[in-house]
Amino acid sequence: MRRVALIYNPASGQSFWRRNSSIEQMTAILRGAGIEAETLQTVGPGSARALAHEAVERGCDTVLACGGDGTVHEVLQSLVGTDAALGVVPLGTANALAADLGLNSSPQKAIRKLLAAEPVRIPVGRISYCNRDGEARTRYFTVAAGVGADAFFLSRLDAGLKRRFGYLVYLVEAFRVWATHTFPLFDATVYGIGGSEPRTLELSQLLAVRIRDFGGVLHKLAPGATLRGDRLCLLAFRTRSRFDYWRFLLAVIFRRQTFTRQIELLTADSVECRAREDAGTRIFTEADGELLGDLPMRIDVVPDGVYLLIPPSARL
């Protein structure tokens, strides 16, 4: 790192004074190490992406996304395919990528770990989908992308309540979705499963997972998933039973999940999802915890997509 931009979200999970103190301390640590550092504050949805693009254009070789999953996701969009490296500092309600990299301690400790990190070119997930106006769009992701119940859950979250109450809002809304959602089916065609012909499955939920460790109670959601993987690690839910979902969640929490015909673990090259005529409702898509749009959609992997700062202690 020679020239660094720290992009942070003023509406992240920390209090105003604690957040500003963390940003000042992180900047001081970088400058004390002889690194030219500037801080950039987001002003609304999409601004982190624009700030990251402008930072790279000005010659920054590293952009640190300081916030939660949403801030990291936005910054990533401007760094894929460039020579600038992405660094992750947890400063929000949840930051799964930071947890996977062993950076889910204090922001100051995370910065010190990143000083010893090396930029490594890793694959990234790519999701092509239709936005709410029916227009074709593409996003990159590092944590996970999903279709079905998880995206429906995100469509129900209130951003203001999320900032105010944090994880409590997640828990309350997750229970409400579990108890009331109908888990409508959609069609998913999976390509490149062990060299076999494509398989078309009827699913109520599909997750493409890119990280090994989500942290918290979820921990290892999809065995075999890794940031270094050049294929998709898919969780395919072939069930509409809320009790199957509940049993699987409990198994993940207690690290005893197994996979059956109802809930499969697949490794593939790509997957395409389409709405069924009898769905009767919108089926949403999401990536890295950000609600995107509707079906149809396609997920694949971009080799060598982005440089990521990986600390020596990370277990990927």
Query: What's 77's domain CATH number?
Result: 3.40.50.10330
pLDDT, residue 14, reads 56
Same domain, 134 and 213: yes
Out of 107-121, 197-211, 221-235, 273-287, least confident range: 273-287
Q: Please provide residue 239's backbone torsions phi and psi, each rounded to the nearest 5 degrees.
A: -140, 150
Q: What is the mean pLDDT of residues 281-304?
A: 93
Measured CA to CA, the distance from residue 95 to residue 105 in angstroms comes to 11
pLDDT, residue 15, reads 61
Q: What is the mean pLDDT of residues 26-50?
A: 93
pLDDT, residue 193, reads 80
Q: What is the mean pLDDT of residues 269-273?
A: 97
Same domain, 283 and 170: yes
315 assigned to some structural domain: no
Same domain, 139 and 260: yes
Domain edge (last residue) among 116, 133, 156: 116
Structure tokens at 295: 């079906």
Q: What is the mean pLDDT of residues 47-53?
A: 96
308 assigned to some structural domain: no
pLDDT, residue 113, reads 95
52 assigned to some structural domain: yes
Same domain, 102 and 237: no
Query: Hey, what's the torsion of the CAs at 175, 209, 273, 243, to 10 degrees?
Result: -30
Same domain, 104 and 158: no
By CB neighbour count within 10 A (0-12 exposed, 13-18 middle, 19+ buried), where does 239 fall?
buried
Residues in the chain: 316
Q: What is the mean pLDDT of residues 137-145?
A: 96
**What is the CB neighbour count within 10 angstroms for residue 293?**
21
pLDDT, residue 170, reads 65
Same domain, 265 and 191: yes
More confident residue, 316 or 137: 137
Same domain, 133 and 279: yes
Strand partners, 65: 7, 88
Residue 19: pLDDT above 80? no
More confident residue, 284 or 133: 284
Same domain, 137 and 183: yes
Measured CA to CA, the distance from residue 316 to residue 312 in angstroms comes to 10
pLDDT, residue 119, reads 95
Domain edge (last residue) among 69, 97, 116: 116
Same domain, 155 and 297: yes
pLDDT, residue 165, reads 47
In the chain, pLDDT over 70 holds for what percent of residues?
A: 91
Q: What is the mean pLDDT of residues 27-40?
A: 95
Same domain, 111 and 187: no
Out of 6-20, 99-113, 160-174, least confident range: 160-174
Q: Identify the domain containing residue 53 by its residue range.
A: 3-116
pLDDT per position as a tens digit, 255-267 = 888 888 899 999 9
Residue 51: pLDDT above 60? yes
Same domain, 180 and 91: no
309 assigned to some structural domain: no
Residue 228: pLDDT above 80? yes
Domain count along the chain: 2
Residue 17: pLDDT above 70? no
Measured CA to CA, the distance from residue 243 to residue 314 in angstroms comes to 35
Domain edge (last residue) among 63, 96, 116: 116
CATH number at residue 270: 2.60.200.40
Q: What is the mean pLDDT of residues 63-72?
A: 93
Residue 194: pLDDT above 80? no
| SS (HEC) of 190-233 | EECCCCCCCEEEEECEEEEECCCCCCCCCCCCCCCCCCCCCCEE
Mean per-residue pLDDT over the chain, rounded: 89
Q: What is the mean pLDDT of residues 37-46?
A: 90
pLDDT, residue 237, reads 97
Same domain, 159 and 291: yes
Q: What is the mean pLDDT of residues 160-179?
A: 63
Q: What is the mean pLDDT of residues 171-189?
A: 82
**pLDDT level of residue 105 (50, 70, 90 thresholds):** confident
Residue 234: pLDDT above 90? yes
**pLDDT level of residue 191 (50, 70, 90 thresholds):** very high
